[in-house]
Amino acid sequence: MSLVVVGSVAYDGVETPHGKVDRMLGGACTYISLAASFFTKVRIVAVVGEDFAQEDIDLLTRHGIDLEGLERVPGKTFFWAGVYSHDMNDRETLTTELNVFADFQPKLPDSYRSQPYLLLGNIQPELQKSVREQMNGVKLSGGDTMNYWISDFRSQLLVTIAGWDFLLINDAEARMLSGEHNLRRAAAEILAMGPKILVIKRGEYGAILFHRDRHFMVPGYLLQEVFDPTGAGDCFAGGFIGYLAARGVDASSDNIGDAELRRAVIYGSVMGSFCCEKFGVDRFRTLTKPEIDERFNEFRTCTEF
Amino acid sequence: MSLVVVGSVAYDGVETPHGKVDRMLGGACTYISLAASFFTKVRIVAVVGEDFAQEDIDLLTRHGIDLEGLERVPGKTFFWAGVYSHDMNDRETLTTELNVFADFQPKLPDSYRSQPYLLLGNIQPELQKSVREQMNGVKLSGGDTMNYWISDFRSQLLVTIAGWDFLLINDAEARMLSGEHNLRRAAAEILAMGPKILVIKRGEYGAILFHRDRHFMVPGYLLQEVFDPTGAGDCFAGGFIGYLAARGVDASSDNIGDAELRRAVIYGSVMGSFCCEKFGVDRFRTLTKPEIDERFNEFRTCTEF
C-alpha cells in the first residue's frame, strides 16, 4: 500500500527570528515524503542536480523512501531562499533558482505505476495531470497547488483537479480559486469543480475539512516555539495522505468515512506542528511514532468539550 | 443569580461590505447584556444622554435587563463610527464622540451590590476596580480591556486584573500585555499577573481558554455570511459569563471545573457568531434559546473526531 509523491526536492536558505540557515534540505516532495514515511511506504518522483548531497540521500533512505524515481541530472538542485517576518505569518522570497527543476518532466518508474496512493505536490498542473495518467488502480489521489497556477494556468488547473479525490490548499488560494472570500461558500464552489474532499489549511489557525455537505474544523497546535514554518503545509499533506494510505482507504469504491478523514486531518496537523519545531526537516531526524500518537491525543485533549 | 454588567451603552455608525447603518444601538455593555440575557438575569451600570431612544430602552427591557443602574444625564450618548475592510479583519475608526461617557463614574444601585456575577466591560481600569470594590459576595468576576489601557494605564490595569477571576482579551492585546508574541508563553505570563482564567479571543479564528496548566482551543464558527462583526467579542463575553452564572459557578470557593469553562467558551463563541449575522444587535431581536443550543451542538459536530 505505498504512496507515490511527486514534487520538488530542493535546497533552502531560511531566516526566521530564531536563526538563519544558508543551505539545508527542503522542497515540497521532501517534506511530504518524510512526514508520510511515519505512516506508510513512500516512493518519490523528483529531480536533483549533481550537487545533491549523499547525507540527504541517506536521510531519505533511512526513512524507507524509495528513490528509484529520483532523477539526478547535470546542473544544480533547485534553490530557494526566504526570510520570515517577526510573527512568521509572512515571508519574503530572496532567491528562486529553479536550476534542474525548470525542466522537470516527472517520469514514473514502472514499479510505481500500480501503487494505490498518489500525492501531487505543487508543480505545473499539466505535469500533475500527466503523472496521474501514468498510474492505474489508484485508490486515492490529490494534491496541492499555488497562486501562480491559479492565476496564470487556471484552465489547465481546473482540468487537473477535476480528476482528484482531494485538494489541499491554503485559505488565500481557496479564495483565489473560487472567487469567494467567505470560506464556506468558497469551499462549495471548489467542491463543485470536482474534488470530493477539500482541506483548507490556515497555518497557525489550523485547518478545515469539507466533504459532502459537512465540515470539520481543527485549530492549529499551540506550539511553545515556532522555529521555522517552512514545509509545514507539505508535512500536513504528508500526514494526511500517509494516514489514509496506512488505513487502506479507497476513494474509487468506498464512500470514504468522515471519521477517517477527520483523523487524517489531525495527523496532518500533528506533522505540520512537528515540522515547525526545528529548522527545515531537522525535527524528522529524531521524531518517533509514539511522539506522533501522543500529539494526536493532545489534539483531542485540547479540543474536546 | 444575577449578573452585573458595566460598560458603554452607545450609538454606532457602521459600514461593512454588506451595507451601512448611520446610527444604531451599540456599546460593549449593550452587547454583553443582550448576549448574557439568554442565560441569566442581567443588571447594567452605564450612562446615556438625553437622546437615548425609548425603543432601545424597550429592547433591553424586553430581554429582562434591569436598568436601575442606567443613568441618564444631560448631553448626548457616546457615539462611535467605523468602517470595516473588505475581509472584515480590520476596521478604521471614523468618529469617536465620548459625550456623556467621558465623565462616566459607575455607581451601583444598592440592589446590585450583593449580586454574585460581575462582568467589567472595557473601561478605565481604575473604574473597573472601583466597581469590583463596591460589590460583596461576588462568586465570579472578570472583564475585558484594550490596547489603550495596556499601554497608557499599565500599572493601574495590573492592579485591577490581579483581583479578577477571569480576563477576556484578544490575541493582539494578549501579546501587548505580556510582551510575548507566542500565545502559549503570553498566556503563562498573564496568568502569573493574577487572573485564574484567561480567554484569548481570535476573531474568526476562534478562542483559546487557559486555566491552570491546561488549555482548550475552539475554532471560530464558519458563518455563511459575516454581516457586521461589531460587538462579537462582547457577545462572546456575555455568553461566557452568562452560561457560568446560569450554572451557579463559584470561583471564590470551588475549583472551577474545566468542563464548565469549556462549555462557557463554546456558548461565548455561539453568541459571538450570532452577533455577526446581522447589523448591530439586530440578530438578538429574534434569536431563541433553541437556536443557541442547536449551534452549541453544531460546534460539537464540527470539531469532534
Q: Does the residue B254 lie in any domain?
A: yes
Measured over the CA atoms of residue A14, residue A28, residue A49 and residue A41, the dihedral's sign is positive
Tell me which chain B residue has its CA closest to the CA of residue A205: B205
B170: region left, alpha or beta (phi > 0 left; psi from -120 to 50 alpha): beta
Q: Place A113 in a pLDDT band, splitting at 50, 70 and 90.
A: very high
Q: Does the residue A267 lie in any domain?
A: yes
- State the DSSP code for B115: -
pLDDT of B250 reads 94
Q: Does the residue A218 lie in any domain?
A: no
pLDDT of A20 reads 95
Q: Is A206 on the interface with B (CB under 8 A)?
A: yes
**For chain A, what is the domain count?**
1
Q: Does the residue A178 lie in any domain?
A: no
* B2-33 pLDDT per residue, tens: 999 999 999 999 999 999 999 999 999 999 99
Q: Which of B184, B215, B224 sits opposite A185 (nearest CB)?
A: B224
Looking at per-residue confidence, does B5 or A252 come out higher? B5
Q: Quick one: three-class SS letters along B253-268?
A: CCCCCHHHHHHHHHHH
ipTM: 0.94
Nearest to residue A131, comparing CAs of A254, A29, A200, A257? A29
pLDDT of B102 reads 95
Q: What's the gap in Å between the CA of B286 and the closest CA on chain A?
A: 24
Contact (CB<8Å) A184/B222: yes
> Which residues touch A62 (CB under 8 Å, ≥6 apart)?
none
pLDDT at residue A155 greater than cutoff 80:
yes
pLDDT at residue A42 greater than cutoff 80:
yes
Q: Does the residue A189 lie in any domain?
A: no
Tell me which chain B residue has its CA closest to the CA of residue A181: B87
Q: At what angle do helices A232-246 and A258-275 cross, to 10 degrees?
A: 140
* CB-CB neighbors (< 8 A) of A298 in chain B: none
Q: Place A169 in a pLDDT band, splitting at 50, 70 and 90.
A: very high
CA distance B256 to B209: 13
Q: Does the residue B173 lie in any domain?
A: no
pLDDT at residue A89 greater than cutoff 90:
no
Q: Is B239 on the interface with A (CB under 8 A)?
A: no
CA distance A96 to A94: 7
Nearest to residue A10, comparing CAs of A58, A39, A40, A53? A53
Q: Does the residue B199 lie in any domain?
A: no
* CB-CB neighbors (< 8 A) of A303 in chain B: 216-218, 303
What average pLDDT does the segment B141-152 reach? 96
> Which residues touch A135 (CB under 8 Å, ≥6 apart)?
A4, A108, A112, A113, A114, A115, A118, A141
What average pLDDT does the segment A149-170 reach? 97
State what percent of residues in chain B have pLDDT above 90.
Answer: 95
Q: What is the mean pLDDT of chain B?
A: 96
For residue B18, give the CATH number of its domain. 3.40.1190.20
* CB-CB neighbors (< 8 A) of B266 in chain A: 305
* CB-CB neighbors (< 8 A) of A214 in chain B: 301-302
pLDDT at residue A252 greater than cutoff 90:
no
Q: What's the gap in Å between the CA of A85 and the closest CA on chain B?
A: 12
* A172-215 pLDDT per residue, tens: 999 999 999 999 999 999 999 999 999 999 999 999 999 999 99
pLDDT at residue A86 greater than cutoff 90:
no
Contact (CB<8Å) A224/B182: yes
Q: Which of A87, A208, A300 sits opposite B181 (nearest CB)?
A: A87
Q: Is A263 on the interface with B (CB under 8 A)?
A: yes
Q: Is A225 on the interface with B (CB under 8 A)?
A: yes
* CB-CB neighbors (< 8 A) of B223 in chain A: 182, 184
* CB-CB neighbors (< 8 A) of A300 in chain B: 305
Contact (CB<8Å) B300/A300: no
pLDDT of B87 reads 83
Contact (CB<8Å) A205/B208: no
Q: What's the gap in Å between the CA of B45 and the closest CA on chain A?
A: 33
pLDDT of A88 reads 84
Are B197 and B211 within 8 A, CB to CB? yes
* B235-287 pLDDT per residue, tens: 999 999 999 999 999 998 767 889 999 999 999 999 999 999 999 999 999 99
Q: Does the residue A9 lie in any domain?
A: yes
Average the pLDDT over each of A154-158, B225-229, B278-282 and give the range with the smallest value: B225-229
Enumerate residues 102 to 121 of chain B having a beta carbon within 8 A of any beta carbon in chain A.
none
Identify the domain containing residue A37 by its residue range.
3-166+228-303
- State the DSSP code for B283: G
Q: Which of B86, B218, B222 sits opposite A215 (nearest CB)?
A: B222
Of the CA atoms within 13 Å of residue B242, those in its CB half-sphere come to 29
Contact (CB<8Å) A219/B206: yes
pLDDT of B48 reads 98
Q: Which of B222, B263, B301 sits opposite A183 (nearest CB)?
A: B222
